[in-house]
Amino acid sequence: MRVLFLTHRLPYAPNRGDRLRAFHIVRSLAARADLELVSLVHDRDELAQVPRVEAMGARVTAVPVPRLRNLARGAAHLLGRQPLTHVLLDAPGLSGVIRSIVRQRPPDVVLAYCSGMARFALEPPLSDFPLVVDLVDVDSQKWLALSESSSWPKRWIYEREAQHLADFERRLSAAASAVFVVNDRERKLMRMVVPGSNVAVVPVGLDVETHAPRTPPAPRARVVFCGVMNYTPNVDGVRWFARDVWPLVRAKRPDAQFVIVGSDPASIVRRLRAADNGIEVTGTVDDVRPYLWESALSIAPLFMARGVQTKVLEAVAAGLPAVVTSAVFEGLPTAIRSACRVADTAEAYAAATLAILDLPPSERRRIAQTADLTQLGWDAQLQPLHDALASATPRKHAVAV
């Protein structure tokens, strides 16, 4: 079976949620099918990773995105009906690449990752091929939620984006053989946007062995947050924790440390670090696991959280309990929830953090180990996707996957 997989980022390095899921899809599909990957790339560092993906067994074409050009075009399109997501993910060379692939190696089925890439599958020449879509999250509802907490003009821009993406999601649902999201919460949202839609769940997986702790539980009172640090929900969550929660923690535990681990920290995040407040901002690191293994607990203080927060799964697999908001908790797999404590106010969040810091290291590890990680392996989680690709493939080409 020949699969053409379209992604809005090259799925390497698997160091952020969207890349991680796409990385494991590539790894799994390359072992079962003739996989052709077409990915947008956004900088030279990303382009340099193409050989890493090719080594996984996929044929890879990377197409650069002209960021400044697209930003200018986005402003010009504000009065039109095209989602800005589609404008900002435009790549002038992509149409030619797709036409060449269809001419030389026509796919049996197209797999589109996220709504930004699905639009190319609805246009000729790909519109002639069966389509499976992994939306991951329902993007229209993400923008709608952002609009509710924003002021003008952002509120108007976000509301516009939500409306036009919802229109696109309705078109997409009618055209695709199968549409997937990451959890039941997103499935319910998709069915609100498109009543009766054929939407199913492919859950987030976890590489349990890779994250399993290599050392005894850390004795230090260190709190860790991992995430891309120019992503607005992460930035807002970390700012809230540092401003409203952390002083309450430090008042009781002056030895406590808070380390923010993640690429591209916004300036407002970098300014959180100070010599006397116990906050460290690492910026990009080669591997987040040592930071997890050397910490006492993980936090996810996000109030606008969509899909599944992979950072929580990885922290628990690394042997840490987690303190999360209700918005995060509701998106987590049931198997992971026993390792989490939920709090939504500064006082409650500080109390939950302090309660874990005051436990012996072995008890912190025991809380993390109450999670049933055996259910979360990537191969098992991705099986519905394989089944859908096989079902969408014309019978004359169908191969069991």
Residue among 236, 242, 302, 297 nearest 274 (CA): 242
Q: Do domains 2-205+378-392 and 208-376 have the same CATH topology?
A: yes
Whole-prediction pTM value?
0.86
Cite the beta strand spans of 55-130 per DSSP E: 59-64, 109-113
Residue among 128, 70, 120, 113 nearest 97 (CA): 120
Fold of 2-205+378-392: Rossmann fold (3.40.50)
Which phi and psi angles does 258 have, rounded to 5°?
A: -125, 120
Fold of 208-376: Rossmann fold (3.40.50)
**CB–CB of 233/300 below 8 Å?**
no
Query: Distance (Å, rounded) from C-alpha 37 to C-alpha 35?
Result: 6
* Omega before 333 within 30 of 0, i.e. cis: no
pLDDT in 10s for each residue of the chain, 401 residues: 999 999 999 999 888 878 999 999 999 999 999 999 999 999 999 999 999 999 999 999 999 999 999 999 888 888 888 999 999 999 999 999 999 999 999 999 999 999 999 999 999 999 999 999 999 999 999 999 989 988 999 999 999 999 999 999 999 999 999 999 999 999 999 999 999 888 999 999 998 899 999 999 999 999 999 999 999 899 999 999 999 999 999 999 999 999 999 999 999 999 999 768 999 999 999 899 999 999 999 999 999 887 889 999 999 999 999 999 999 999 999 999 999 999 999 999 999 999 999 999 999 999 999 999 988 999 899 999 999 999 998 744 433 33
Domain boundaries, the chain: 2-205+378-392, 208-376
Q: Which tokens belong to 315?
A: 């922290």
